[in-house]
Structure 1
Amino acid sequence: SGAHYNPAVTLAVLARGGGLISLADGALYVVTQVVAALLAAPCCWGMIRKEAAGYAMAPPNTRDHSLYLCEFLITFALCSVVLLTATAKGQAGNSFFGLAIGFTVLSGAVSVGAISGGAFNPAVGTMSLLYGAKPAWNVLAYWVAPLCGGAVAGGFFRVVAPEAPPLEESTASPKEKDESSKTDAPSSENSTDLTTSDMLAKCFVELVGTTLLCFTVGTARGGLAPLAIGAMLMVMVYMGGWISGGHFNPAVTLAVWARSLFGATHGVFPLAQAALYIVAQTGGASLGALAAAGALARKDAVLFPAPSEKTPVGLALLGEFLGTFLLAYVVLHTATAKRTSGNSFFGLA
Structure 2
Amino acid sequence: MKKALAAEFIGTFWLVLGGCGSAVLAAAFPQLGIGLLGVSLAFGLTVLTMAYAVGPLSGGHFNPAVSIGLWAGGRFPGSRLLPYVAVQVLGAIAAGGVLALIATGKPGFDLAASGFAANGYGEHSPGGYSMAAAALTEAVLTAGFLLVILGATSRQAAPGFAPLAIGMALTLIHLISIPVTNTSVNPARSAGVALFAGDWALGQLWLFWLAPIGGAVIGALAGRVLFDAPPLAATEDAR
Instruction: Answer yes or no: same fold by TM over 0.5.
Output: yes
| Range with greater deviation from structure 2 (126-135 or 64-73) | 126-135
| 1:167 Cα deviation after fit | 3.5
Match of 2:95 among 40, 44, 49: 40
- 1 CA distance for matches of 2:92 and 2:229? 32
Structure 1 residue aligned with 2:230 = 166
Q: Which has the higher contact order (CA 8 A, sep 6+)?
A: 2
Cα distance in 1 for partners of 2:70, 2:155 equals 14
Say if 1:31 and 1:41 are closer, same or farther in 2 by CA, change over 3 A.
same
SS at match of 1:152: helix
* Aligned equivalent of 1:111: 176
| 1:135–1:89 distance in 2 versus 1, CA, 3 Å | same
Q: How does 1:128-277 map to 2 (within 5 A)?
A: 128-161=194-227, 164-169=228-233
Residue 84 (1) aligns with residue 147 (2): no
Q: Which structure is higher in helix share? A: 2
The answer for the alignment partner of 1:57 in structure 2 is 120
- Following superposition, which runs of at least 4 residues in structure 1 exceed 6 angstroms of deviation? none
Structure 1 vs Structure 2 CA RMSD = 1.8
Offset of residue 63 of structure 1: 1.1
Task: Render the CA deviation track for 1:97-130: whole Å, top value 9, x for unaligned.
Answer: 1121112221121212111220110111112133
Separation in 2 of the partners of 1:113 and 1:45? 21
Aligned-pair identity (%): 23
Q: What is the distance in 1 between the residues matched to 2:118 and 2:170?
A: 15
Letter in 2 for 1:28: P
Extract unaligned runs of 5+ from structure 2. Answer: 1-57, 105-109, 235-239
| Whole-Å separation in 1 of the counterparts to 2:148 and 2:180 | 22
TM-score, normalised on structure 1?
A: 0.44
Tell me the amino acid that sits aligned with residue 167 of structure 1: P
Distance 2:80 2:158 in 1: 23
1:56/1:124 contact within 8 Å kept: no
State how far apart, in whole Å, the 1-side matches of 2:196 and 2:79 are: 28
Aligned counterpart in structure 2 of residue 75 of structure 1, from 142, 147, 152: 142
CA deviation string 1:130-161 (max 9, x = no partner): 31211112211101100011101111012212
How many matched pairs?
A: 164
**CA offsets per residue over residues 49-71 of structure 1, 9 Å max, x none?**
26364333335132111010010
Q: How does 1:6-45 map to 2 (within 5 A)?
A: 6-17=63-74, 20-45=75-100
1:96 Cα offset (Å) = 2.3
TM-score calculated relative to the size of structure 2: 0.64
Cα distance between partner residues in 2 of 1:39 and 1:124: 11
Amino acid across the alignment from 1:82:
I
TM-fit CA distance, 1:81:
0.6
CA contact (8 A) 2:122 2:130 kept: no
The one-letter amino acid paired with 2:218 is: V
Q: Which amino acid aligns with 2:203?
A: W
Within 1, Cα distance between the matches of 2:164 and 2:97? 29
Cross-structure match for 2:55: none
Q: Relative to 1, partners in 2 of residues 1:165 and 1:115: Cα closer, same or farther, differing over 3 Å?
A: closer
